[in-house]
Structure 1
Amino acid sequence: MNVISFKEAKCKNCYKCVRTCEVKAITVTNSQAQIMDDKCILCGLCLEACPQNAKTFNSDLNKVKGYLRDNIPTIVSIAPSYLGVLKYKTPGQVITALLKLGFWKVFETAEGAAFVTKEYEKLLEAGTMDNIITTCCPSVNDLIEIYYPTLTKYMAPVVSPMIAHGKILRKKYGKDAKIVFLGPCIAKKREAECDHRTRGYIDAVLNFIELEQWLKEEQINISDLEDTPPENPDPMVNRLYPVSSGIISSVIASQVPSKYRKFYVHGIKNCMELLDSMEKEEVTGSFIEANICTGGCIKGSALNKEGLSRFKVKLDMEETIPKLPVDNKDFFERGNNISFFKPFSDHSHNDPMPTEEEITQILQKIGKIKPEDELNCGACGYSSCREKAIAVHQGKAELTMCIPYMHEKAQSMANIVLETTPNIIILVDSDMKILEFSGTAESYFHMSRAKAVEKYLYELIDHTDFEKVLNTHEPITGKKLEYPDLGIITLQTIVYVSEQNAVLGIIQDITKEEEQKKQSYKVKVDTIEMAQKVINKQMLVAQQIAGLLGETTAETKVTLTKLRDTILNDGMEELSKKC
């Protein structure tokens, strides 16, 4: 189960989560970041780092509301960090607020912490381990098991206070009751629900941000409520577990004699630095309180940290919580016949390692030919180009994650376009100052790009259309314009570039085409004139022929008429003689 979910549509290819993740448990595929669940230690830093909120925590809130809706007896185990991070007048008001939400009973997880302290006391007293690393923080546990497996022998084989408390509550209330842990940590969800060694004691995990949202929905103001004490006996100093050095304070309060030096480490980088040192066997004979979150659980991964000072919280809690051990003889009886043992082991992954030749080939694909080409800028999220090349080989990263290379490539392509295009390309800012000037523009204006970018557009040509596009954001396309000074006729397309609040002009020289059109038109006109002359001549000839035909026809008519009359006259005379 993925505790952190991913919204693919929101990932903007910024690699900020990769840069933030100290263990590089994030893979990038098709330009989208994805959590590698089996490598993630759930420190929560990627949740904080993501500027687009592309990664979110998978919530159990609806599941818990379902328990209450179905009238299932539901118990809350509330982490002691509530004493420092929630707003109230008295701590009991928080208990009342939870009861008003519908929970059956409320107990403090610090009760479980007291049993964990008791287990640590046994280890300190036995003195058989070379070093003892506390195992209350599930993220530290994952860090060691996955990335420092040789150090698992130093991990205290003890469950966390949450699991210890879950075991105690489960023994008392049985399987029919639901047990919900409420705290400041997202890693607790995997420990409670996914780890086969600890599964079955906590049914759901909520964090304080979810609680605050829920209380707001129900219009419950903690500070307005009456005080209700928790049902557990006072766990005393064990309430200090969430602050840095809190576990050590609990152990020291017990006054168990031991040979171990005691110190605490918090923050993922500090933890890793310590573990690196321990791998070199530079640290021995120490009891080490380790916490992934800087400042301890009071700065947990599931807290609204705005306006929250870990220093103030630490001072306030240390001032109000007595550093005294549990002296109630009956306190620990509830832990009888319950095992708080938890084994730890190697959970590391054997990712394939590339050969030197393979690393070189990957580097060459992104222009890293020589050692000096390896900038090691870290923009991709990896500390060196070689580390990134290894990640590419392992399928965790993509070649295109190299921002300097992609920038150079994009710039190179842009330069090629500007240098080779046959059109005049001019980019100006909102003041009409020239930003880009193509190679063709240089030849037309007889001016170098370096000189052009020092000028304003109106020093070269009429800027009216550019100004209009800047103001209206409406493009002008296919406009024909003549520049007599340059001796050219152009076809212009001018568009607004919103990302830069700039205007781009693409000016095509169509002088030759226009001359060809003129020549073609002249030829057509000349042809028409010639055709008209031919027609006129033909009409004249036709008229002349018609005239001649008319004259000859008239003469023929006269002659034939005379001939007819003569024949008719001669015939009449012959007839009269016979009669």
Structure 2
Amino acid sequence: MRVIDFRDASCRHCYKCVRHCEVKAISVVNEQAHIMKDHCINCGHCLEVCPQNAKTFASDMERVKGYLRQGMKTVISIAPSYLGVLEYDRPGQVVDALKRLGFYEVRETAEGAALVTREYARLLEEGKMENIITTCCPSVNDLIEKYYPSLVTMMAPVVSPMVAHGRLIKSIYGEEVKVVFLGPCIAKKEEAIGDERVRGAIDAILTFEEITKWWRAEGIDIHQCDDQPVGNPSPEVNQLYPLSGGVIQSVLADTSKDSYYKVHIDGLKNCMELFEELKMGEISKCFFEVNVCEGGCIKGPASDKWQQSLIRAKMDIERQVKHREKAQGIDGSAVLLYKEFTDRQVVDRQPDDKEMQAVLHAMGKYTREDELNCGACGYATCRAKAVAVFQKKAEIGMCLPYALAQAESMSNIVMDVTPSMIMIIGKDMRIRECNKKAMEMLGVSREEALERYIFEFIDDKDIAEVLRTKKQMIHKKINLETVKLKVVETIIYIDSLESVLVTYQDITKEEKAKEQHYNLKIETVEMAQKVIDKQMMVAQEIAGLLGETTAETKVTLSKLRDSILFEEDE
């Protein structure tokens, strides 16, 4: 089962989730981010930072509603962080609001925390472990088992308060009861359903986000609900578990004597820094309360939308937890609290030198100077990124300097081979950019061009008009007298730059060819006219000669006729 993942979204050139994932459990395939289940510790931080709001979460909402529709006895185990996360007038209104949805009973997970506290106190008093790392946070547990397996022996072999409470509830109401955990944590889902070592203690998980939406859908106004008590004895100091340092306060109230130095660490980076120190073996006899979420569970990924202020949530909980003594009247003698943690190390094949060089070269990194280590791709160094590419976790195109260089290279080629003059002119008439052809025609270098104004070279009347009206001017034939060119002018307004894109397509040769062709046609016509005129003159001369010879012939023939006729008469 995949607890969290991303929907298809516009991940191209973003990679914010990769940058914020400290264990790099996110792969990018075809420019789409995916969570690698085997690598993920389910901290949910990637989903919090995703600007596309593309998170998906395997919800148990319909399963829980099914329990209630079928009349199954269903008990809510509510995380103590509700005291600082949910909005209400009195805490008991939360209990009533949940019962109105159909839940049989509402009990605080802090009740289970009291059992866990006793186990921690026992381990401290025994003093057998070199160091003790608390195991309440499932993300921390995954982090150690997958990425710091050498520290498994330092993990307190105790289940989390949620699991302890689930088992306690089933011991009270019977194994057939359904237990639903309600809290701010996404990782609890994987712990409850995906971890075979504790499976069966919790039947479903709901987040504060989900329960709030459910109340809204059912028309339940928590401020109008009655003030009802929870179904468990007071967990006393154990209600402080969701606060950073809350576990230590609970343990101190339950421990008579121990020799461990106690430290609370929260935040994934801080936890990883601690574990690196512990790997070196230079720390001993310490009790470490660790939590992946900064500030503790009150800042869990499923609670931040309701309580943005860590300080306010902390104050709200501390004000309501009036008693800081150890819990009384909570019998966990029938509850199994032991849990064995194991080495589940994630191992990815590392590239050899030849394979590394091949990937680096594909990324455009040929020398150490080419390795900018900018971190834009989400990886701290170019070599770390190259390893990720080799392991099919990342794509070469995620390297933004490389992608930018490629884009600039392509655009520069297009600009430089284009036979037209191309310029970008700012609203102050200063040349902001120009291509190779423009530099050639204007007779200046790029550096010099960018310090000059367009009106120093050509008539800027049309450019000024487009800058003023913001209406494009397309395919206008003009003469650029200063550079002795005939061009087709196109001017496009760029709103985002408050500038214009100006192109001048040189048609001087074409126009000369047209002129030559026209002149040839005129010459041909003139020659034809001369031939016609000459032919007319020849025709007229021929006609004249024909007229004269015809007259002479007529006279001669007439005389011949008359002589013949007259001879016969005689």
| Partner deviation per Cα, 1:386-429 (whole Å, 9 max, x = no partner) | 22222222222222322233333433444444445432211123
Task: Report the residue type matching 1:406 in the other structure.
Answer: A
Contact 2:75 2:103 in 1 (8 A): yes
Query: Per the alignment, do residues 566 and 4 of structure 1 end up closer, same or farther by CA in structure 2, a change over 3 Å counting?
Result: farther
Q: CA deviation at 1:363?
A: 2.6
Does the alignment pair 1:381 with 2:378?
A: yes
| Partner deviation per Cα, 1:22-52 (whole Å, 9 max, x = no partner) | 1111122223222112111122221222222
Percent identity (aligned): 53
Does the alignment pair 1:325 with 2:322?
A: no
Q: CA deviation at 1:53?
A: 1.9
Q: CA deviation at 1:174?
A: 5.0
Give 1:289-438 correspondences, 5 Å limit: 289-304=289-304, 308-321=308-321, 322-328=323-329, 331-332=330-331, 335-438=332-435
| Partner deviation per Cα, 1:115-171 (whole Å, 9 max, x = no partner) | 222332333343332222111101001100110011111112222111222223334
Q: SS in structure 2 opposite 1:516?
A: helix
Task: Report the residue type matching 1:290 in the other structure.
Answer: V
Does the alignment pair 1:152 with 2:149?
A: no
Q: SS in structure 1 opposite 2:486?
A: strand
Q: SS in structure 1 opposite 2:375?
A: coil
Alpha-carbon separation, structure 1, partners of 2:164 and 2:461: 77
| Partner deviation per Cα, 1:162-192 (whole Å, 9 max, x = no partner) | 1222223334445654432111111111112
Query: Per the alignment, do residues 86 and 550 of structure 1 end up closer, same or farther by CA in structure 2, a change over 3 Å counting?
Result: same
Deviates more, 1:164-173 or 1:469-478: 469-478
Query: Per the alignment, do residues 10 and 401 of structure 1 end up closer, same or farther by CA in structure 2, a change over 3 Å counting?
Result: closer
Task: Report the residue type matching 1:375 in the other structure.
Answer: L
Q: SS in structure 1 opposite 2:483?
A: coil
Deviates more, 1:251-260 or 1:63-72: 63-72
Query: Per the alignment, do residues 93 and 189 of structure 1 end up closer, same or farther by CA in structure 2, a change over 3 Å counting?
Result: same
Q: SS in structure 2 opposite 1:503?
A: strand
| Partner deviation per Cα, 1:97-120 (whole Å, 9 max, x = no partner) | 222233332221112212222332
Deviates more, 1:81-90 or 1:24-33: 24-33
Query: Per the alignment, do residues 498 and 345 of structure 1 end up closer, same or farther by CA in structure 2, a change over 3 Å counting?
Result: farther
Task: Report the residue type matching 1:326 in the other structure.
Answer: A
Query: Per the alignment, do residues 64 and 312 of structure 1 end up closer, same or farther by CA in structure 2, a change over 3 Å counting?
Result: same
Match of 2:78 in 1: 78
The answer for unaligned runs of 5 or more in structure 2 is: none
Query: Per the alignment, do residues 358 and 115 of structure 1 end up closer, same or farther by CA in structure 2, a change over 3 Å counting?
Result: same
Q: CA deviation at 1:523?
A: 0.6
| Partner deviation per Cα, 1:423-443 (whole Å, 9 max, x = no partner) | 221112344332102232223
Deviates more, 1:532-541 or 1:182-191: 532-541
Match of 1:439 in 2: 436
Alpha-carbon separation, structure 1, partners of 2:32 and 2:381: 21
Task: Report the residue type matching 1:159 in the other structure.
Answer: V
Contact 1:10 1:54 in 2 (8 A): no
CA root-mean-square deviation: 2.9
Match of 2:167 in 1: 167
Give 1:562-573 correspondences, 5 Å limit: none
Contact 2:93 2:226 in 1 (8 A): yes
Contact 1:155 1:344 in 2 (8 A): yes
Alpha-carbon separation, structure 2, partners of 1:269 and 1:115: 29
Alpha-carbon separation, structure 2, partners of 1:62 and 1:497: 52
Query: Per the alignment, do residues 493 and 105 of structure 1 end up closer, same or farther by CA in structure 2, a change over 3 Å counting?
Result: same
| Partner deviation per Cα, 1:6-32 (whole Å, 9 max, x = no partner) | 132332322221111111111222232
Contact 1:8 1:32 in 2 (8 A): yes
Q: SS in structure 1 opposite 2:202?
A: coil
Task: Report the residue type matching 1:242 in the other structure.
Answer: P
Q: CA deviation at 1:446?
A: 2.8
Alpha-carbon separation, structure 2, partners of 1:543 and 1:166: 127
Alpha-carbon separation, structure 2, partners of 1:67 and 1:299: 29
Alpha-carbon separation, structure 2, partners of 1:525 and 1:175: 108
Task: Report the residue type matching 1:345 in the other structure.
Answer: T
Alpha-carbon separation, structure 2, partners of 1:456 and 1:64: 71
Alpha-carbon separation, structure 2, partners of 1:146 and 1:245: 25
Match of 1:89 in 2: 89
Alpha-carbon separation, structure 1, partners of 2:445 and 2:531: 57
Query: Per the alignment, do residues 176 and 476 of structure 1 end up closer, same or farther by CA in structure 2, a change over 3 Å counting?
Result: farther
Deviates more, 1:289-298 or 1:56-65: 56-65
Alpha-carbon separation, structure 2, partners of 1:68 and 1:458: 79
| Partner deviation per Cα, 1:312-340 (whole Å, 9 max, x = no partner) | 43344334321111222xx21xx444322
Q: CA deviation at 1:69?
A: 4.8
Alpha-carbon separation, structure 1, partners of 2:205 and 2:535: 106
Q: SS in structure 1 opposite 2:302?
A: coil
Contact 1:85 1:308 in 2 (8 A): no
Contact 2:373 2:381 in 1 (8 A): yes
Alpha-carbon separation, structure 2, partners of 1:306 and 1:487: 70
Does the alignment pair 1:505 with 2:508?
A: no
Contact 2:81 2:317 in 1 (8 A): no
Alpha-carbon separation, structure 2, partners of 1:162 and 1:152: 21
Give 1:214-293 correspondences, 5 Å limit: 214-293=214-293
Deviates more, 1:315-324 or 1:169-178: 169-178
Contact 1:163 1:198 in 2 (8 A): yes
Alpha-carbon separation, structure 1, partners of 2:135 and 2:75: 24
Query: Per the alignment, do residues 367 and 532 of structure 1 end up closer, same or farther by CA in structure 2, a change over 3 Å counting?
Result: same
Contact 2:111 2:238 in 1 (8 A): yes
Match of 2:445 in 1: 448
Q: SS in structure 2 opposite 1:22?
A: coil
Alpha-carbon separation, structure 1, partners of 2:161 and 2:277: 27
Contact 1:209 1:304 in 2 (8 A): no
Contact 2:10 2:32 in 1 (8 A): no
Deviates more, 1:347-356 or 1:9-18: 9-18
Task: Report the residue type matching 1:524 in the other structure.
Answer: K
Task: Report the residue type matching 1:2 in the other structure.
Answer: R
Give TM-score scaled by structure 1 length.
0.89
Give TM-score scaled by structure 2 length.
0.91
Alpha-carbon separation, structure 2, partners of 1:469 and 1:176: 78
Alpha-carbon separation, structure 2, partners of 1:41 and 1:32: 20
Deviates more, 1:150-159 or 1:5-14: 5-14
Match of 1:492 in 2: 489
Q: SS in structure 2 opposite 1:8?
A: coil
| Partner deviation per Cα, 1:355-394 (whole Å, 9 max, x = no partner) | 2333233333334333333222222222222222222222
Query: Per the alignment, do residues 306 and 103 of structure 1 end up closer, same or farther by CA in structure 2, a change over 3 Å counting?
Result: closer
Deviates more, 1:204-213 or 1:509-518: 204-213
Give 1:512-531 correspondences, 5 Å limit: 512-531=509-528
Alpha-carbon separation, structure 2, partners of 1:471 and 1:65: 64
Q: CA deviation at 1:533?
A: 2.3
Task: Report the residue type matching 1:272 in the other structure.
Answer: M
Task: Report the residue type matching 2:320 in the other structure.
Answer: T
Deviates more, 1:497-506 or 1:92-101: 497-506
| Partner deviation per Cα, 1:539-558 (whole Å, 9 max, x = no partner) | 44345545655666677678
Deviates more, 1:422-431 or 1:37-46: 422-431
Task: Report the residue type matching 2:266 in the other structure.
Answer: H
Deviates more, 1:361-370 or 1:279-288: 361-370
Alpha-carbon separation, structure 2, partners of 1:196 and 1:472: 70
Alpha-carbon separation, structure 2, partners of 1:352 and 1:229: 55
Contact 1:494 1:504 in 2 (8 A): yes
Alpha-carbon separation, structure 2, partners of 1:464 and 1:39: 63
| Partner deviation per Cα, 1:240-277 (whole Å, 9 max, x = no partner) | 11111111222221124333332211111111111111
The answer for unaligned runs of 5 or more in structure 1 is: 575-579
Alpha-carbon separation, structure 1, partners of 2:562 and 2:226: 151
Query: Per the alignment, do residues 7 and 422 of structure 1 end up closer, same or farther by CA in structure 2, a change over 3 Å counting?
Result: same
Query: Per the alignment, do residues 484 and 306 of structure 1 end up closer, same or farther by CA in structure 2, a change over 3 Å counting?
Result: farther
Q: SS in structure 1 opposite 2:479?
A: strand
Q: CA deviation at 1:521?
A: 1.1
Does the alignment pair 1:60 with 2:52?
A: no
Task: Report the residue type matching 2:535 in the other structure.
Answer: Q
Alpha-carbon separation, structure 2, partners of 1:548 and 1:63: 122
